[in-house]
Chain A
């Protein structure tokens, strides 16, 4: 399975500021996904990060609030902009198959716990 790291692992931020979360994979993958997990809830997809094109956002999530970059096949960033306490959540990235593989399994990074004061 792919080895995935996320930075930072946790952060406490002030209202109105922005935080960029990094997701790094040890191999080239076709698709990367960003999820939000609010306290006590399940995972909600924010967007799909495509290499070489703009991210595809789910209903309720917009690029101005959650800009995403995917500069290559091993790396993606998610920025949480103009934060409010409602953005306090765990943010997780997951990756699809390695390029050239036909597997169906997705693996997750360790998550970033964000607290907004």
Chain B
């Protein structure tokens, strides 16, 4: 069974600084997809970024980028120029196809400090 591990329960960062959230996973699949979701206090789960395992290039979405290391089964999220609105729970998630359920890590609570 696939597992996702987020080893940082809480993190904080100063506004405008850069922060990296860690995620490791375990799977025997060769092709799969990885995601970072953000959950602000409103509780809405918002997709931040996605990565396809067969693509070597790291995904980037504006201030958000990932460092995907397939051999190490590592998938970290870097947030640049942190903003107060980035304060949220961040969940790393794994899927092997669009029609199967997501497997989530336990989450990292990020606080951006003014």
Contact = CB atoms under 8 A, between A and B. Distances in A.
A110 B105 contact: no
Contacts of B37: 108
B84 interface: no
Given A92-B45, A104-B33, 20 more contacts: A1-B47, A42-B104, A43-B91, A45-B101, A48-B101, A96-B99, A101-B98, A103-B98, A104-B97, A104-B98, A105-B33, A105-B35, A105-B47, A105-B50, A106-B95, A106-B98, A108-B37, A108-B45, A110-B42, A111-B45
Interface of A: 1, 30-31, 33, 37, 41-43, 45, 48, 90, 92, 94, 96-97, 101-108, 110-111, 113
B43 A110 contact: yes
Contacts of B98: 31, 96-97, 101-106
Main secondary structure of the interface of B (DSSP, over half): loop
B99 A97 contact: yes
A90 B42 CA distance: 11
B102 interface: yes
Interface string B57-94: 00000000000000000000000000000000001000
Contacts of B43: 37, 90, 110-111, 113
Interface of B: 33, 35, 37, 42-45, 47, 50, 52, 91, 95, 97-102, 104-107
Contacts of A97: 98-99
A31 B95 CA distance: 14
A108 B104 contact: no
Nearest to A41: B106
6 contacts: A42-B106, A104-B97, A105-B50, A107-B47, A111-B44, A111-B45
A104 B50 contact: yes
Contacts of B33: 104-105
B44 A110 contact: yes
A70 to B, nearest CB: 14
B20 to A, nearest CB: 20
A47 to B, nearest CB: 9
